[in-house]
A and B are shown apart, each in its own frame.
Chain A
Amino acid sequence: MFTYYLNLAVKSIRRNMGLSSLMVLAIALGIGACMTTVTVNYMMSSNPIPHKSDQLFYVQLDNWGPHFPFNDENEPPNQVTWRDANNLMQHRQFKQVAMGTSGAVIESDNRELKPFMAGIRLTYTNFFSMFEPPFLYGGPWPSDADDNMEQVVVLSKKTNQQVFEGENSVGRSLTIGGNRFRVVGVLDDYEPIPRFYDVSTGAFQSPEDVFMPLTLKRPLELSSGGNNNCWKDPDGEGFEGYLMSECINYQFWVELNDIAEQKQYLSFLNAYVEEQKTLGRFPRPLNNRISAIMEWMEIQEVVADDAQIMMWLASLFLLVCLLNTVGLLLSKYATRTSDIALRRAIGATKQAIFSQYITESALIGILGGILGLALALAGIEAVKSMYGDFISEHVGMDLTIVGIAIVLSIVSSVLAGCYPAWKACSVPPATQLRNQ
């Protein structure tokens, strides 16, 4: 029976090519616009580390000045100071990690290779066990390398390619910012989207070229990258004065397994701040916070407003396209009332008529959906070229998105087809025949 209806549908679509292609095009445009924007939003709001996203928490402490809050909503500052990062890291009972950024020139021992500028992530070895970036060679540095300020590095795959031509470089050395470093590990491809561990300078960037112990910052006087924010000038002079200032420039994370641990950690933070208050710091009321990854991404507004606005407008666009299709289907089926009436009169049930017309609607919907998917692919390419290398390289369709697109197109076209099909099957047999 279904193939029979399908045949009828194909015949009917062919009979009114103009009208049918208009409907297919309308659905395709609606689906295409919707799926392009949904894909962008989906990518921007994706969970970068799904299996641990409930255990990793971003830490905020309110070290801001007495007279003005950090921002109008009195949120705690979005980063921590060098002092707090170091003080908190002393408490080994928690699995924590502090980090910051720097940059320096890398010189290879191979004289033919031109020196180049590298982005550096300064952190602790816990970075690797907490965020689990994949290793190609070697592994994280041992935790005493943090304590002993050892000059060790983990390279990104790209940097290892540049400096060591992709060979296993564990144990070999290179010069970074004029200092010698020993390679302990090389990461495999690692592109978390968003780059959740530090969104202070934008959420859609590649991880750094080099990872090294944060504890090296002081002895090597490494420069400060990223976002630097101070509510008052440093009290002391020089590099040391800046390190000991109230300037925030570091990100801090903790891994907590359950609510009990979260509570325990928060009271630990509060106790820490109370203790600092006795030393004359933290003039504001207690305002410490821990946020799970996805919560933190939301607070940091990782999904751009524009992407959301476009998604809403695209949904409205799809709505217009569907209204359009309903109207056109209604018109089309209405021209066939005599046909339907005849079939009803010779015994076709309402159900049969309904099935026939809903099949036709669904077919139009599927055609529209397929074309829409193709349009969405083109749309994504257009978005990529317009945004340059912004979000770009990583936007793409995965199975989830294709699935959503197909479901969306079928659901919306069947929805659009329901009313016209119902109208068609409720044509009374007798009256129409009489008119003939």
Chain B
Amino acid sequence: MSNLEFGPIMRALLRNKVGAILIALQIAVTMTIIVNAVFIIVERKAMMERESGLDEANTFYLTTTGFGKDFESKRVTIEDLALIRNTPGVIDAIQVNAIPMSGSGWSMGLATQPGEEIESVGTANYMVDDHALNTYDAELLAGENFSPEDIRFRERNQSDWPDLAIITQALAKSLFPELGIDEVVGKTIYIGDNEAMIIKGIIDKLQAPWVGWNNLDHVTLTPEMMAFPSMRYLIRTEPGMRDKLMTSLEETLANQYPNRIIRNVETITATRDKSYRQHSAMINILTATMILLTLITALGIIGLASFNVNRRRKQIGTRRALGASKQAIIRYFMVENLIISSFGLILGVGLTIGLNFMLIEWFAVKALDWYYIPTGVVLLFVVGQLAAFGPAFRAAQISPALATRTI
């Protein structure tokens, strides 16, 4: 320990307290920002990586809006679907009320018993036909798909529900935590307080329209098509065919009937980007902040160390003249930096936890995982040492002969 020269270094630091304190504070605040920012970034990244369940790269959707008094929505829907499904390059397509991740849709409460005093589980509702599983690229884990006979038409202001439903695995778990998925098939659930539905099948994965919703994986499919003037078609294509079909189908459908407009033709990829744009922006901004901040702090350390070296040129020369090796000089400045960093990082750990508490208190940020803190500490020690090395190395180059000169 004695050859690390803690004593002399500490005494020298105490002579220039303010400079050292400033660097220590800078390191402390830098750690506070970096650790909290990294934590937020990692959390957002994980959020963005959640799978929708769709064949995202090869799926798109569009809205068709009929107008005029004699628009026959049922006939148009049936003919449209037949046309789309028979188009080469289309794997499958459905008419649907809402699109995963798109931000707008329909949700209901489900319960395992009837009655309005029963607490219900929230679910997104997609109204689909028997082509849904294929279009969604969903795997049936238990039970059966809808059959064509199950499908009914829902009229514009109709509010009752079909008697059958297919639900996601996550929703099955939330409704029946104790049961295996095979046992859930055939169970009765109640939608909107007291309307019974029987679970016909369970699929692996499908997301609700709202990416910020905590029930994102809760989806209920009901076997029905909608006789609404404004409807969406979700279309899954063979790999590489999506963009071509987007243009050609938009045109074909638009030309099919004069009394309708085709709008919002959009890929799932674009929808995902839009819905997570806020989060990817946050990630980019925080990353840029972290890089700049680390740079500024490193430059600050270099500045202070250089200043200390310049101020002590004579003393360094004298030490060298008295027999100190170059390594000893380098070590001196590196240890000095280590001491300053240590004080800074002790404070930094406190501030980091403090800021995290404030973010938890005021915003929807979670508690920091413990390992972020030691990682941050080690990282900033490394940054400090790297920054200090340059000036320390230059100090070591000071000639012993300097000691003999006056000014």
Residue in B closest to A436 when the chains form the complex, CB atoms: B407
CB pair B26 A387 closer than 8 Å: no
CB pair B261 A116 closer than 8 Å: yes
Can you identify 13 A-B contacts, CB atoms within 8 angstroms? A66-B116, A115-B67, A117-B261, A242-B157, A310-B285, A313-B289, A316-B33, A321-B296, A324-B300, A326-B22, A327-B304, A383-B281, A387-B278
Q: Point out the residue from B297, B307, B355 that lies within 8 Å of A334, measured CB to CB.
A: B307
Residues in B whose Cβ lies below 8 Å from that of A310: 282, 285-286
CB pair B281 A67 closer than 8 Å: no
Residues in B whose Cβ lies below 8 Å from that of A115: 67, 261
A29-88 contacts to B, CB under 8 A, are 29, 33, 65-68
CB pair A306 B67 closer than 8 Å: no
Given contacts A323-B25, A386-B284, contact A178 B68 (CB under 8 A): yes
A232 at the interface (CB under 8 A from B): yes
Residues in A whose Cβ lies below 8 Å from that of B292: 29, 33, 317
Residues in B whose Cβ lies below 8 Å from that of A29: 292, 296
CB pair A390 B116 closer than 8 Å: no
CB pair B19 A327 closer than 8 Å: yes
Residue in A closest to B44 when the chains form the complex, CB atoms: A306
CB pair A317 B33 closer than 8 Å: yes
CB pair B117 A67 closer than 8 Å: yes
CB pair A386 B67 closer than 8 Å: no
A167 at the interface (CB under 8 A from B): no
Given contacts A232-B193, A233-B193, A330-B22, contact A22 B303 (CB under 8 A): yes
Given contacts A26-B296, A238-B157, contact A331 B303 (CB under 8 A): yes
Chain A CB count within 10 A is highest, among B40, B68, B303, B304, for B303
Nearest-Cβ distance from residue B368 to partner chain A, whole angstroms: 14
Residues in A whose Cβ lies below 8 Å from that of B278: 304, 306, 387, 390
B371 at the interface (CB under 8 A from A): no
CB pair B67 A308 closer than 8 Å: no
Q: Point out the residue from B69, B230, B281, B362 that lies within 8 Å of A387, measured CB to CB.
A: B281
Q: Point out the residue from B23, B285, B303, B364 that lies within 8 Å of A383, measured CB to CB.
A: B285
CB pair A320 B40 closer than 8 Å: no
B192 at the interface (CB under 8 A from A): yes
B365 at the interface (CB under 8 A from A): yes
Residues in B whose Cβ lies below 8 Å from that of A387: 277-278, 281
Q: Point out the residue from A33, A309, A423 that lies within 8 Å of B359, measured CB to CB.
A: A309
Using a Cβ cutoff of 8 Å, how many contacts connect chains A and B? 144
Residue in B closest to A33 when the chains form the complex, CB atoms: B289
A223-243 contacts to B, CB under 8 A, are 223, 232-234, 237-239, 241-242
A3 at the interface (CB under 8 A from B): no
CB pair B299 A308 closer than 8 Å: no
CB pair A324 B277 closer than 8 Å: no
- Please give 9 more A-B residue pairs, beta carbons under 8 A apart, in addition to A306-B278, A317-B33: A114-B261, A233-B192, A242-B159, A309-B359, A313-B36, A317-B289, A320-B26, A324-B300, A331-B304
B280 at the interface (CB under 8 A from A): yes
Nearest-Cβ distance from residue A117 to partner chain B, whole angstroms: 6
The complex places the Cα of A221 from the Cα of B157 at a distance, in Å, of: 10
Residue in A closest to B299 when the chains form the complex, CB atoms: A22
B267 at the interface (CB under 8 A from A): no
Given contacts A26-B296, A105-B261, A242-B157, contact A334 B40 (CB under 8 A): no
CB pair A386 B285 closer than 8 Å: yes
B310 at the interface (CB under 8 A from A): yes
Number of chain B interface residues as a range: 35 or more
A335 at the interface (CB under 8 A from B): yes
Given contacts A117-B263, A320-B297, contact A327 B157 (CB under 8 A): no
Task: Mark contacts of B350-382 with chain A using CB atoms, 8 A cut-off: 1 yes-contact digit, 0 otherwise.
Answer: 000001001100111100000000000000000
Residues in A whose Cβ lies below 8 Å from that of B219: none
Nearest-Cβ distance from residue A90 to partner chain B, whole angstroms: 25
- A interface with B by C-beta (< 8 Å): 19, 22, 26, 29, 33, 65-68, 103-105, 107, 114-117, 177-178, 221, 223, 232-234, 237-239, 241-242, 304-306, 308-310, 312-314, 316-317, 319-321, 323-324, 326-328, 330-331, 334-335, 382-383, 386-388, 390, 419, 423
Nearest-Cβ distance from residue B190 to partner chain A, whole angstroms: 11
Nearest-Cβ distance from residue B250 to partner chain A, whole angstroms: 13
CB pair B29 A234 closer than 8 Å: no
CB pair A241 B157 closer than 8 Å: yes
The complex places the Cα of A178 from the Cα of B307 at a distance, in Å, of: 79
- B interface with A by C-beta (< 8 Å): 18-19, 22-23, 25-26, 29-30, 32-33, 36-37, 40, 65, 67-69, 116-117, 119, 156-159, 192-193, 195, 230, 261, 263, 274, 277-278, 280-282, 284-286, 289, 292-293, 296-297, 299-300, 303-304, 306-307, 310-311, 355, 358-359, 362-365
Nearest-Cβ distance from residue A200 to partner chain B, whole angstroms: 12
Residues in A whose Cβ lies below 8 Å from that of B307: 331, 334-335
The complex places the Cα of A310 from the Cα of B282 at a distance, in Å, of: 8
Residues in A whose Cβ lies below 8 Å from that of B306: 331
Chain A CB count within 10 A is highest, among B22, B297, B358, for B22
Residues in A whose Cβ lies below 8 Å from that of B157: 221, 237-239, 241-242
Residue in A closest to B303 when the chains form the complex, CB atoms: A328
Nearest-Cβ distance from residue B302 to partner chain A, whole angstroms: 9
Nearest-Cβ distance from residue A363 to partner chain B, whole angstroms: 19
The complex places the Cα of A419 from the Cα of B21 at a distance, in Å, of: 13
CB pair B19 A386 closer than 8 Å: no
Residues in A whose Cβ lies below 8 Å from that of B33: 313, 316-317, 320
Given contacts A33-B289, A331-B303, contact A319 B116 (CB under 8 A): no
Residue in A closest to B285 when the chains form the complex, CB atoms: A310
Chain B CB count within 10 A is highest, among A115, A233, A308, A382, for A233
Nearest-Cβ distance from residue A267 to partner chain B, whole angstroms: 31
Nearest-Cβ distance from residue B201 to partner chain A, whole angstroms: 25
Nearest-Cβ distance from residue A115 to partner chain B, whole angstroms: 6
The complex places the Cα of A51 from the Cα of B304 at a distance, in Å, of: 53
The complex places the Cα of A160 from the Cα of B26 at a distance, in Å, of: 57
The complex places the Cα of A313 from the Cα of B362 at a distance, in Å, of: 14
Nearest-Cβ distance from residue B148 to partner chain A, whole angstroms: 27
Residue in A closest to B24 when the chains form the complex, CB atoms: A323
Given contacts A22-B299, A29-B292, A178-B68, contact A308 B159 (CB under 8 A): no
The complex places the Cα of A22 from the Cα of B300 at a distance, in Å, of: 9
Given contacts A241-B157, A323-B29, A390-B278, contact A178 B304 (CB under 8 A): no
Residue in A closest to B292 when the chains form the complex, CB atoms: A29
Residues in B whose Cβ lies below 8 Å from that of A26: 296, 299-300
Residues in B whose Cβ lies below 8 Å from that of A103: 230
Residues in A whose Cβ lies below 8 Å from that of B230: 103, 223
CB pair A306 B37 closer than 8 Å: no
Residue in A closest to B280 when the chains form the complex, CB atoms: A386
The complex places the Cα of A388 from the Cα of B277 at a distance, in Å, of: 8
The complex places the Cα of A233 from the Cα of B161 at a distance, in Å, of: 11
The complex places the Cα of A109 from the Cα of B88 at a distance, in Å, of: 38
The complex places the Cα of A223 from the Cα of B282 at a distance, in Å, of: 36
The complex places the Cα of A17 from the Cα of B404 at a distance, in Å, of: 31
Residues in B whose Cβ lies below 8 Å from that of A305: 363-364
Q: Which 8 A-B pairs have the closest CB atoms?
A: A331-B307, A386-B281, A105-B67, A327-B22, A324-B300, A305-B363, A67-B117, A323-B26
Residue in B closest to A68 when the chains form the complex, CB atoms: B119
